[in-house]
């Protein structure tokens, strides 16, 4: 099962303070909109998202259909196929994608320690 590009989505209290801090670690903005309280930062192949006021805890994020630079892939495992495989393996999903649709969709599951995992397909 190929989950796609990985990033960590951080629930931050102060977008500017977090942008400055991660900038000191070598992360640079590559996407996002500060006016909408989110930025995507990258350092080499490592990607983090900073999200102020959008969710309560940090989220592990996978993006089927994207490479590490958020560019569309020619071939990838659709989120609905990932969903079917996870469910057949006995994994409980908190949010499911509509199996009757195609294109963008997402699913959410939570690991045994309460960490949310978002599998978010944009293509």
Distance, CA of 88 to chain centre? 23
Average pLDDT over residues 74-100: 97
Residue 64 near residue 20 (C-beta atoms within 8 A) = no
- H or E segment at 110? strand 105-110
| Beta bridge partner(s), residue 60 | 8, 117
pLDDT at 90: 97
Give the tens place of pLDDT for each residue, 41-74: 999 999 999 999 999 999 999 999 999 888 999 9
Give the tens place of pLDDT for each residue, 6-38: 999 999 999 999 999 999 999 999 999 999 999
pLDDT at 49: 97
- Tokens for 100, please give them: 């009757």
Average pLDDT over residues 101-109: 98
pLDDT at 69: 86
Q: What is the tally of helices (H) and strands (E) in the chain?
A: 2, 7
- Of 3.90.10.10, 3.40.50.300, 3.10.180.10, 1.20.1740.10, which CATH number belongs to 5-121? 3.10.180.10
- DSSP assignment of 38-63 equals EEEEEETTEEEEEEESS-SS-EEEEE
């Amino acid at each position: 099962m190929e989950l796609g590009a990985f990033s960590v989505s951080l629930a931050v209290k102060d977008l500017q303070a977090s942008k400055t801090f991660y900038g000191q670690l070598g992360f640079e903005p590559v996407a996002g909109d500060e006016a909408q309280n989110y930025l995507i930062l990258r350092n080499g192949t490592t990607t983090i998202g900073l999200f102020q006021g959008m969710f309560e805890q940090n989220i592990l994020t996978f993006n089927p259909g994207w490479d590490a630079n958020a560019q569309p892939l020619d071939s990838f495992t659709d989120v609905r196929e990932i969903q079917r495989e996870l469910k057949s393996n006995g994994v409980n999903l908190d949010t499911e994608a509509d199996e009757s649709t195609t294109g963008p969709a997402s699913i959410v599951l939570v690991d045994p320690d309460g960490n949310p995992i978002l599998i978010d397909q944009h293509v």
